[in-house]
Amino acid sequence: MKFGGTSMAGTERIRRVANIVRAQAANNSEVAVVVSAMAGETDRLVGFCREANALYDPAEYDVVVASGEQVTSGLLALTLQSLGCKARSWLGWQMPMKTVEAHAKARVSTIDAPEMIAGMEAGEIAVCPGFQGISDEGRVTTLGRGGSDTSAVAVAAAVKADRCDIYTDVDGVYTTDPRIVAKARKLKAVTYEEMLELASVGAKVLQTRSVGLAMKAGVRIQVLSSFVGDDAVPADELPGTLIVSDEEMEQMVERGEMERQLVTGIAHDKNEAKVTLTRVPDKPGAVADIFAPLANASINVDMIIQNVGRDKGETDVTFTVPGADLARTQALLDDRRGDIGFNRVITDSKVAKISVVGVGMKSHAGVASTMFSALSDRGINIQAISTSEIKVSVLIDEDETELAVRVLHTAYGLDTAD
Ligand code: ADP
Ligand code: ASP
Ligand code: MG
């Protein structure tokens, strides 16, 4: 069971969480619980790091930001004990949750937790702080923002759980963010592949890596709400959204429990920035000269457009990078201006990426053209386009985000009837 920040925000909410955990444990289950820091706490801690040292050392940043989850895991264990349950916390280094790669965005490598598993077998509820791990050097690490979802899936895989229930502030995965589109529809199930794509293009209900890990390790995820009364449908009866394999989805479709839609969901991402280089020489190697230094600096380039060469053998190149990497991107390009040979760098961080996702697109034409027509009918200008096998993304003006998501939701017939 995993509980997100809003579910853990304050002693009253933690008591509600403890009641949900106790009910699950009473239902003949061995339980491991993974918790986030209280809502807003990680942002507050990140703020302190920035104030202390703008160019902070990621290893010390991890020491600071991992503390939010230490507090909530201890508080949940205490609250469970007050309800008469046997419970103890297992911090990242105690479990241990071993991680590799960079601080502040570490990857889980292995969890070998015989003591924790023995405790669970003896009826003790294991409470694990999400987000935190330990490096090979024995230092505290964190798994990137939203990383508690990944901790939960990793723990579920390690204890060979029947299911990983991710409790949050919405009651499942919807066709789009239900806070933006009132007519968003709750999905009974989504395939790993679609959820991976939805998460990676901005549906922050699950961290992208958690879905990748679940797919690899075969962990069944259910997303459901912790904001429920005592009379709520128990988690074992699957009231939320299941993240499942293609085969399981096929069976659900055959049983008439799910309908196959062309488009499964729509997501938006306001954290991208657009960069245009003007008058780049139109010759072999020019594009490589632009992108090699960005790759070396681990800056992820997403959408790319190279315009048709103008006369004089020059062209414009436009691409997007994460907003947080824009300043570094600009500095790297300015440094190499002579070598690359462009005229100007123009940047714009007031852009949003809107994506439609669905496995149905593999076999059906027309998904992209529906998108373009629906946006043009509302006068929304498309600045860049990218596609994958199951996704079409467009870049638009950030101010038009909500309108675009609503218009597309209607255009693909996803609105609820009421
Ligand atoms: P937690 O703190 O529990 O990890 P998050 O804020 O990370 O919760 O994720 C839950 C939020 O994800 C919801 O409040 C909702 O606004 C947002 N969200 C975005 N896209 C979707 C979607 N397709 N379905 C459900 N929720 C979504
Ligand atoms: N507390 C961390 C964050 O806010 C991890 C999480 O909640 O998933 O990013
Ligand atoms: Mg989250």
265 lines ligand 1 (CB under 6 A): yes
Ligand nearest to the CA of residue 72, numbered in listed order: 2
Average pLDDT, the chain: 94
Higher pLDDT, 365 or 371: 371
Quote the pLDDT of residue 230: 83
| Res. 392: pLDDT tops 80 | yes
* CA-proximal residue: ligand 1, atom 1 (nearest): 4
Percentage of residues in the chain with pLDDT exceeding 70? Answer: 100
Number of the ligand 2 atom closest to the C-alpha atom of 37: 1
| Res. 6: pLDDT tops 80 | yes
Is the alpha carbon torsion for 158, 167, 259, 179 positive or negative?
A: negative
| Res. 336: pLDDT tops 80 | yes
Q: pLDDT grade, residue 379 (50/70/90)?
A: very high
Quote the pLDDT of residue 259: 85
Which residue has tokens 């924790």? 116
Task: Give pLDDT tens digits for 115-145.
Answer: 999 999 999 999 999 999 999 999 999 999 9
Ligand nearest to the CA of residue 186, numbered in listed order: 1
Q: Is 167 left (phi over 0), alpha (psi -120 to 50) or beta?
A: beta
Q: pLDDT grade, residue 350 (50/70/90)?
A: very high
Task: Give pLDDT tens digits for 21-66.
Answer: 999 999 889 999 999 999 999 999 999 999 998 778 899 999 999 9
State how far the Cα of 220 lies from the Cα of 218, in Å rounded to an integer.
6
* CA-proximal residue: ligand 2, atom 9 (nearest): 145
5 lines ligand 1 (CB under 6 A): yes
Quote the pLDDT of residue 283: 86
Give me ligand 2 centre to Cα 248, in Å. Answer: 30
| Res. 101: pLDDT tops 90 | no
* CA-proximal residue: ligand 1, atom 4 (nearest): 4
**Nearest to 62, CA basis, from 8, 90, 99:** 99
Quote the pLDDT of residue 54: 79
Q: pLDDT grade, residue 373 (50/70/90)?
A: very high
Percentage of residues in the chain with pLDDT exceeding 90? Answer: 86
Give me ligand 2 centre to Cα 350, in Å. Answer: 25
| Res. 282: pLDDT tops 90 | no
Residue 348 near residue 274 (C-beta atoms within 8 A): yes
Number of the ligand 1 atom closest to the C-alpha atom of 203: 20
Quote the pLDDT of residue 384: 93
| Pocket, ligand 2, Cβ cutoff 6 A | 4-5, 36-37, 42, 68, 130-131, 145-149
* CA-proximal residue: ligand 1, atom 5 (nearest): 205
Give me ligand 2 centre to Cα 200, in Å. Answer: 16
Quote the pLDDT of residue 365: 84
Task: Give pLDDT tens digits for 76-88.
Answer: 999 999 999 999 9
Residues near 325 by beta carbon (within 8 Å), at least 6 away in sequence: 273, 299, 300
Quote the pLDDT of residue 347: 96
Angle at 217 between CA 243 and CA 253, to 5 degrees: 30
146 lines ligand 1 (CB under 6 A): yes
Q: pLDDT grade, residue 312 (50/70/90)?
A: confident
Structure tokens at 107: 């990857």
Structure tokens at 288: 């490589």
Quote the pLDDT of residue 56: 81
Give me ligand 1 centre to Cα 370, in Å. Answer: 26
Mutate to test the pocket of ligand 1, among 151, 168, 211, 355 (most ligand atoms within 8 A of CB): 168
Q: pLDDT grade, residue 258 (50/70/90)?
A: confident
Number of the ligand 2 atom closest to the C-alpha atom of 144: 9
Give me ligand 1 centre to Cα 199, in Å. Answer: 10
Quote the pLDDT of residue 211: 98
Quote the pLDDT of residue 364: 85
Give me ligand 3 centre to Cα 205, in Å. Answer: 6
Mutate to test the pocket of ligand 1, among 3, 170, 174, 263 (most ligand atoms within 8 A of CB): 170
